[in-house]
Amino acid sequence: MTKDEISDILENIARLLELKGENPFKIRAYTNGARALDTLTEDFDKIVARDGLGEVEGIGKALVEKITTLARTGKLEYYEELREQFPPDIFTLFDVPGLGAKKIKALYDQLGVHSLTNLERVCRDGQVAALPGFGAKTAENILKGLEQLKKSAGQFRLGDISGLAESLLDDLRSHPRVSLVQVAGSYRRKKPIVRDLDFIVSTRHPKIVLEDFVGHHLVDSVLAHGDTKASVILKNGIQCDIRVVKSEEYPFAVVYFTGSKEHNVRLRSRALERGWSLNEYRFSLAEGRELKEPIPEVYTEADVYRALGLAFVEPELREDRGEIAAAEAGELPQLIEWQNLRGTFHCHTHASDGRASLEEMAHAAEDLGLQYLGIADHSKSSVQANGLDEKRLLEQVARIRELNQTFDGFRIFAGTECDIRKDGSLDFSDEILAQLDYVVVSVHAAFSLSEVEMTDRIIKAISNPYVTMMGHLTGRLLLTREPYKVNVPAIIEAAAATGTIIELNANPRRLDMDWQWWPLAKEKGVRCSINPDAHSTAGLQDLIFGVGSARKGWLTRNDVINTLPLGQIEQELARKRK
DNA sequence: GCCGTTTTCGGCCCGACTGTTTTCAGTCG
């Protein structure tokens, strides 16, 4: 059984224990165990093979045994026994906003509710309202939650809501009663998928600000509206929370609501070591603790970190992936910034499935302040995308060479997004590839190979000396298509061994390779190229999402080849061929 | 169930809002 499957089972155990009303800390131990598995960077199978699970923080003796049993046999008696006590689809009820374990248990015990369908029925026919501890409002809210669940499944791509988030941010910023405002949460941490938007506002007029916010023209419905916070659903279906604080509380609230939860837990325990309690408002004396150091003055977010003996941690890094230790040691990376980009690769034109001409794409890139643009139209196997054959490709190369004569301080690099065929061979011969400035290779068909076959296929492709970089490594389309099965660490190893660059596809539907893998790639010495996979001039602006993911993956400008200026980038592209 | 320079027992983050209650439980983040 794989690591991900086992992690899901630990989550399920936690929920079943919740339904049984078990000790909350025991429940948390299972949740923590699942998370510990999710964040492993070393090969899970290898850890199991060498009995190394016990060294992982959050996995103790009992979990080692259960995880090992699952990994080796695919079964766990303890889990089976728990599962038998509840109907199999009871897990779906946890997805309904407003429903937790206690209510689900009451609904199940007293009304036999075990699925979304019969939950809806008992809400409508008045049975829920009649239960002790429930009422008409609760029934109504559950129905609303069911509606919300059907509508959006509650998840949004970062790129799809950034326009909305920035416009709300602008409106709050220009509100006459608002002094400071920050968008926090997973949006600020640049997670590829976000569930909601969080705004933190400092003001002396909380009532007015909250009233104006819930009345904003983008708001569809109001979930909660109190003295210091409000929750609304926006017209596109995303939930949006706003917290209003005093200016002296603002830095604490921003830290707290930027998260992640795990990062915050680390910060709080550091505070406790000093005898302070940390919450979303302030440092205070921790009850029953000895005050080791006086509580310092805090005016900014950086002050909060400084007080805890830490360098400022960029929001993208706040995922409890070693950033606290690095901040303590003063070893946090200087993360790449948008302004560091000097050019980009993997862009399409109307020769294949893009919408703009070579000239239009080049001008758009120049307007963004870039010095070069790498074209990579599809190759002949991608018939659906009007892929280029050898003749059309070489014509395009000639056209690019001509165009380059007309530029001053700007250059187009001629390339291709060459299909990796099912057997790992490429769509063009080495003789053709040798005439290009660079080559991206990607998988566009035969997604359903086994993990071993897919991994071998890709490694064979990137072993070709003319292949400069690997495009969208897992083929995922966020919220639409699962990644194909591939052994990412093995590809990273192969990329390191062959000197192949791995693309960070900046298209917000892809963001592939995922941020979680970049620290490993960096450690192995694999370099990154942030590419927009642009199919129009506007698509070039997706680079900003790529920069966000690169930052989240701890990358600096030195890790990303397209921060190199014209004059140096050519050598980087030629390096592998030599 | 996990963890440990307060170390093998006894902690484990905590505040806001809602709805159902007459002082609090459940949920959420």
- Hey, is A354 helix, strand or coil? coil
pLDDT at A243: 95
CB A395 within 8 A of CB A436: no
Minimum CA–C1' distance nucleotide for A136? B19
CA of A557 to C1' of B6 (A): 45
Q: How far apart are CA A471 and CA A507, in angstroms?
A: 12
pLDDT at A445: 87
Domain range A3-151, CATH architecture: Orthogonal Bundle (1.10)
pLDDT at A203: 94
Q: Verify if strand B has an atom below 7 Å from the CB of A60.
A: yes
What DSSP string describes A191-212?
Answer: -SEESEEEEEEEES-HHHHHHH
Q: How far apart are CA A518 and CA A321, in angstroms?
A: 12
Q: Verify if strand B has an atom below 7 Å from the CB of A285.
A: no
pLDDT at A58: 86
pLDDT at A558: 97
pLDDT at A231: 92
pLDDT at A152: 57
Q: Verify if strand B has an atom below 7 Å from the CB of A192.
A: no
Domain A338-574 CATH assignment equals 1.20.1440.130? no
Angle between helices A101-111 and A3-19 (to 10 degrees): 60
Q: What are phi and psi of A311, to 5 degrees?
A: -70, 160
3-state secondary structure A34-91: HHHHHCCCCCHHHHHHCCCHHHCCCCCHHHHHHHHHHHHHCCCHHHHHHHHCCCHHHH
Q: Verify if strand B has an atom below 7 Å from the CB of A434.
A: no
């000239």: which residue's tokens? A359
Q: Verify if strand B has an atom below 7 Å from the CB of A98.
A: yes
Q: Residues 26-55 of chain A: which lie with beta carbon within 7 Å of strand B?
A: 26, 28-30, 32-33
Minimum CA–C1' distance nucleotide for A281? B15
Task: Give the CATH fold of the A253-329 domain.
Answer: Beta Polymerase; domain 3 (3.30.210)
Q: How far apart are CA A137 and CA A156, in angstroms?
A: 28
CB A217 within 8 A of CB A183: no
Domain range A156-247, CATH architecture: 2-Layer Sandwich (3.30)
Q: Verify if strand B has an atom below 7 Å from the CB of A241.
A: yes
Q: Residues 194-223 of chain A: which lie with beta carbon within 7 Å of strand B?
A: 195-196, 198
Q: Verify if strand B has an atom below 7 Å from the CB of A292.
A: no
Q: Residues 136-175 of chain A: which lie with beta carbon within 7 Å of strand B?
A: 136-139, 141
Chain B: nucleotides below 7 Å from protein CB are 1-3, 6, 11-21, 25-29
Q: What is the pLDDT along chain A (578 residues), one digit of tens a residue?
A: 888 889 889 988 998 998 888 888 888 889 888 888 877 777 788 888 888 888 888 898 899 999 999 999 999 999 999 989 888 888 888 888 888 888 998 999 888 888 888 899 999 988 898 888 888 888 888 888 888 777 656 688 999 899 899 999 999 999 999 999 999 999 999 999 998 999 999 999 999 999 999 999 999 889 889 999 999 988 888 889 999 999 999 999 999 999 898 899 889 888 888 888 888 999 988 776 677 778 889 999 999 999 999 999 999 999 988 899 999 999 999 999 999 999 999 999 989 988 889 999 999 999 999 999 999 999 988 887 888 999 999 999 999 999 999 999 999 999 999 999 999 999 999 999 999 999 999 999 888 888 899 999 999 999 999 999 999 999 988 877 778 889 999 999 999 999 999 999 999 999 999 999 999 999 999 999 999 999 989 899 999 999 999 999 999 999 999 999 999 999 999 999 88
Domain locations along chain A: 3-151, 156-247, 253-329, 338-574
CA of A191 to C1' of B15 (A): 25
